Structures are given as structure tokens and as C-alpha cells.
């Protein structure tokens, strides 16, 4: 069994957290209050108590969507988020691991450099008062990830992320079902082989896609020629879309369109274009 077994969260990165939060609320998501990060550059190392980022999250019980804002541009940036903002379009992706150190060792043994394991903390409000979210992450070197923003994360206090009062969404969202990576047609096999090693999961085929089914959620790689039927992708590679599972597709679509947001029918449900969702398309699919 792989040390990586689920899609933990996507990251929608923005320099205007309030603006991207308003977009996601209009899509029908309940968001956690803003929460600022404390970050280390190495496991057990000194924690930067004031950094440039804060987030709001749409949480589903295990997976979530993180709206990550650069809220203090002149503050320390130990995880180099400003560089990621400049170099990556679309989403960033964190897959879930029960042991970040084991994942880092496996990647290193496969010849894939990374940041090493790093610590993250942030304070959140709970019904019992303020508590601290603690997690660990290891971010793959861009060369290792073939140009994709890709990290493995280990939660130490998931109960403070997925608080019960945050799990009910007006659009009926219940989970992060899949994330779609779009690559050049002639690079499809290269990416499929690389991510089979990164995830330690064999890939299958679904039409033109290469798919990686995890215990919870699915990572998908598709050639740009197939993606362009639904997504206006111009540059690759890009994490171009995420699929959110909802309990009632009709209810979700009525809410989204009622808020003045254009939708498009796709085979698995309906799509909200990247321009209306912070730079990456959102597909809603009924579970």
C-alpha cells in the first residue's frame, strides 16, 4: 500500500484573498474564517511566526479546497509562495500521507529532490475557543514534479480543520472527487510514468486520460488536445480543473447560476470556467 492514499486538498492561490473568497462563496461553499500561517523551513526548525500568507478553506470532512492568499507581501515567505504565484498557473495540489517523512524518503530514493519535510501551524477558532492546526508538508522540486506544484501533507490535528459546523455547504459539496492535470500530447506517457512513481500507484486508462485512483479521490492526466473540448488551455503542464462531488447536481447548478455565474454541461455534471473560479475550472459532479 502506498504512503499516499487520498487527495488532501487543492490550493487556489491569489494575491486578493477577499476577492477569491467571495467567488467561492458565490459558488456555494462555506468557508472557514481567515487564518494566518506559521511555517518552518525544515522539520523541527524555527517557526516563522509571521508570514506572508493566510487562508480560508472549504472543508468536506477529509479533503478540502484551500484559498491561499498572499496577504502581507513584505512579510517572510519561508515556503516561497510568492515564487509559486509567479511560476504556476492553475491549481497547486497536496496529496494526503500518513507519514510525511516516509514519503520524503521514498521520493529521495527514487531520485526526486524535494524541500524535505517542513512544519506548518495556524490558529483557528473552534466552539471551545482558539486551537492550533498542526501539519507537515514536503514539496516536490519542480523538476521532480515535471513543472507541477505538488506536495504531500500529513495532518496532525485534522479535527481543527474539518470542524462540523464548516462541513455543510449551500451547494451540497461533500468532497474533492478528482484533480485534472493537462499536459502536452507527446508528454502524456512521461507524466503517467512519473506520477506512478510519485504516487506509488499504477495508472489506468479512461478514454484519453491516464487515471490514478486513490482511496479517496482520483488524480487524472490528460493530453491537451482532449482537454480543449471543455477547457481553454493554452500552456502546459497545468492543474486545470478540480471536480467537487455534490449531493444534488440540480440544486448546485441552480444556486451557481442564480448568483450570475455561467455554467456549461460536461459529461460528469457541469463546469464553472477558470475565469470565474480563481484560475482553474471547477466541475460539479453528483455523488
pLDDT in tens, 67-102: 999 998 988 888 888 888 888 889 999 999 999 999
Question: What band does 59 get if pLDDT is binned at 50, 70 and 90?
Answer: very high
Q: Are 222 and 185 in contact (CB under 8 A)?
A: no
Cell of 244: 467537487
Q: How confident is the model at residue 47 (pLDDT cuts 50, 70, 90)?
A: confident
pLDDT tens-place string over residues 184-223: 999 999 999 999 999 999 999 999 999 999 999 999 999 9
Terminal-residue alpha carbon distance, the chain: 26
Q: Report how far residue 54's alpha carbon sits from residue 38's, in angstroms, rounded to the nearest whole number.
A: 9
Model confidence over 112-137: pLDDT tens digits?
A: 999 999 999 999 999 999 999 999 99
> 237 preceded by cis ω (within 30°)?
yes
CA 33 to chain centre: 18
CATH 3.10.180.10 residue spans of the chain:
4-166, 173-286
Superfamily of chain region 4-166:
2,3-Dihydroxybiphenyl 1,2-Dioxygenase, domain 1 (3.10.180.10)
The string of pLDDT tens digits covering residues 167-189 is 999 999 999 999 999 999 999 99
CATH architecture group of domain 173-286? Roll (3.10)
pLDDT confidence bin for 48, thresholds 50/70/90? confident
Measured distance CA(89)–CA(235) in Å, rounded? 9
Amino acid at each position: 500500500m502506498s504512503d499516499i492514499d487520498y487527495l488532501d486538498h487543492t490550493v487556489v492561490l491569489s494575491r486578493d484573498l477577499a476577492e477569491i473568497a467571495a467567488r467561492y462563496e458565490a459558488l456555494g461553499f462555506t468557508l472557514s474564517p481567515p487564518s494566518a500561517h506559521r511555517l518552518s523551513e525544515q522539520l523541527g526548525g524555527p517557526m516563522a511566526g509571521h508570514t506572508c500568507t493566510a487562508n480560508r478553506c472549504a472543508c468536506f470532512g477529509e479533503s478540502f479546497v484551500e484559498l491561499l492568499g498572499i496577504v502581507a507581501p513584505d512579510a517572510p515567505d519561508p515556503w516561497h509562495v510568492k515564487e509559486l504565484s509567479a511560476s504556476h498557473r492553475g491549481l497547486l495540489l497536496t496529496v494526503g500521507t500518513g507519514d510525511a517523512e516516509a514519503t520524503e524518503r521514498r521520493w529521495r530514493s527514487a531520485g526526486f529532490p524535494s524541500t524535505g519535510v517542513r512544519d506548518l501551524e495556524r490558529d483557528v477558532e473552534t466552539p471551545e475557543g482558539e486551537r492550533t492546526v498542526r501539519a507537515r508538508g514536503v514539496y516536490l522540486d519542480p523538476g521532480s514534479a515535471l513543472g507541477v506544484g505538488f506536495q504531500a501533507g500529513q495532518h496532525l490535528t485534522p479535527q481543527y480543520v474539518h470542524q462540523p459546523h464548516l462541513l455543510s455547504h449551500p451547494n451540497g459539496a461533500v468532497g474533492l472527487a478528482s484533480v485534472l492535470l493537462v499536459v502536452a500530447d507527446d508528454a502524456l506517457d512521461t507524466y503517467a510514468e512519473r506520477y506512478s512513481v510519485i504516487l506509488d500507484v499504477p495508472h489506468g486508462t479512461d478514454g484519453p486520460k491516464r487515471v490514478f485512483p486513490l482511496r479517496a479521490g482520483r488524480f487524472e492526466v490528460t493530453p491537451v488536445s482532449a482537454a480543449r473540448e471543455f477547457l481553454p488551455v493554452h500552456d502546459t503542464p497545468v492543474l486545470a480543473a478540480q471536480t467537487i462531488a455534490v449531493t444534488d447536481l440540480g440544486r448546485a447548478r441552480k444556486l451557481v447560476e442564480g448568483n450570475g455565474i455561467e455554467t456549461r454541461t460536461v459529461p460528469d455534471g457541469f463546469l464553472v470556467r477558470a475565469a470565474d473560479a480563481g484560475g482553474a475550472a471547477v466541475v460539479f459532479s453528483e455523488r
